[in-house]
């Protein structure tokens, strides 16, 4: 069963779910981003790749609202968000995961997902169990099933294998019913088998869910994404389908210092 996102209205005339225009970020004398433009359509799967220091994470954090750009603008669903905090983006239907797992190690899978649901709905668990609490527990169990963690529902997050912790992170993100999801290196540290499982899980998401990921594993990025953006030295170098990017001489030069094979 695929994940179905909740529909949220967009202002008339909006041409993209996420629009990044001429975004620049400077850390002191270091220019981390140099006038980046990016337009992401509803339901698009977009991967951003590039070597270390390319500016991928900085761009990701600007879109997520974790840092404000020095210049340029970020518009999400037609709403100006450039200097608004990340919680404002959450209200617009955006969720994100982090490279380092942020689940509570001392809580179970069920409890972590429950907290994600409660946070999204601004609800606090009371000392007594209400019918709403019971329904949210059932929802948490359903989310766990969607990310293949039913068997670990009452296991502590700290006892999960690394790949399962990644699955839990995804579960906590989709519990908020986003229609835009940002994934920060979801394949980081995964075994080959876990990477295959991750790709299968991402491909099971509803086609209307907009997915943006930064990923060092090019195999995962090329299999999940419909379009790939390549960055280097804070700039957007090229973009295209996975096939186009794979054969682009600039990409081979950036990653390998060699020309693309004929």
Phi/psi at 206 (nearest 5 deg)?
-55, 140
Helix (H), strand (E) counts: the chain = 9, 10
Report whether pLDDT(3) > 50: no
Share of the chain above pLDDT 90, in %: 63
- Classify domain 14-93+179-262 at the CATH topology level: Rossmann fold (3.40.50)
Question: Which residues fall within 8 angstroms of residue 202, CB to CB, at 6 or more apart?
Answer: 183, 186, 211, 224
Confidence band of 130 (pLDDT split at 50, 70, 90): low
Q: Which two tokens stand for residue 34?
A: 């140099």
pLDDT of 216: 86
How many angstroms separate the CA atoms of 200 and 153, rounded? 20
pLDDT in tens, 215-225: 988 899 999 99
Task: Name the nearest CA neighbour of 152 among 188, 200, 101, 161.
Answer: 161
The pTM of the full predicted model, rounded to 2 decimals, is: 0.82
- The residue with greater pLDDT, 6 or 20, is 20
Kind of pairing between the strands at 180-184 and 94-96: parallel
Mean of all residue pLDDT scores within the chain: 87
Domain ranges in the chain are 14-93+179-262, 102-177
Contact 49/99 with Cβ under 8 angstroms? no
Model confidence band, residue 6 (pLDDT cutoffs 50, 70, 90): very low
**Of 230, 251, 260, 240, whose CA–CA distance to 54 is shortest?**
230
Model confidence at 4: pLDDT above 50? no
Q: For residues 165-176, give the mean pLDDT.
A: 92
* pLDDT score of 258 more than 80: no
At residue 42 the predicted structure's pLDDT band, cuts being 50, 70 and 90, is very high
């Amino acid at each position: 069963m695929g994940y179905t996102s909740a529909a949220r209205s967009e202002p008339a005339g909006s041409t993209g779910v996420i629009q990044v225009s001429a975004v620049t970020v400077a850390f002191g004398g270091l220019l981390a981003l140099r006038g980046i433009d990016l337009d992401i359509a509803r339901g698009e799967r977009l991967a951003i790749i590039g070597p270390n220091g390319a500016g991928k994470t900085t761009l990701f954090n600007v879109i997520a609202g974790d840092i404000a750009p020095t210049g340029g603008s970020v518009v999400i669903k037609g709403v100006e968000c450039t200097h608004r905090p990340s919680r404002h983006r959450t209200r617009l239907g955006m969720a994100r995961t982090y490279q380092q797992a942020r689940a509570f190690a001392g809580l179970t899978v069920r409890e972590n997902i429950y907290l994600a649901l409660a946070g999204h709905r601004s609800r606090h668990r009371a000392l007594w169990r209400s019918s709403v609490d019971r329904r949210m527990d059932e929802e948490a169990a359903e989310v766990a099933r969607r990310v293949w963690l039913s068997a670990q529902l009452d296991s502590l997050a700290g006892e999960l294998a690394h790949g399962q912790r990644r699955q839990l992170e995804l579960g906590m993100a989709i519990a908020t019913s986003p229609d835009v999801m940002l994934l920060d290196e979801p394949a980081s540290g995964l075994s080959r088998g876990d990477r295959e499982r991750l790709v299968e899980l991402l491909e099971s998401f509803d086609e209307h869910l907009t997915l943006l990921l930064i990923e060092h594993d090019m195999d995962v990025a090329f299999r999940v994404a419909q379009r790939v953006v390549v960055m280097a030295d804070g700039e957007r170098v090229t973009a295209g389908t996975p096939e186009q990017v794979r054969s682009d001489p600039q990409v081979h030069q950036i990653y390998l210092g060699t020309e693309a094979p004929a």
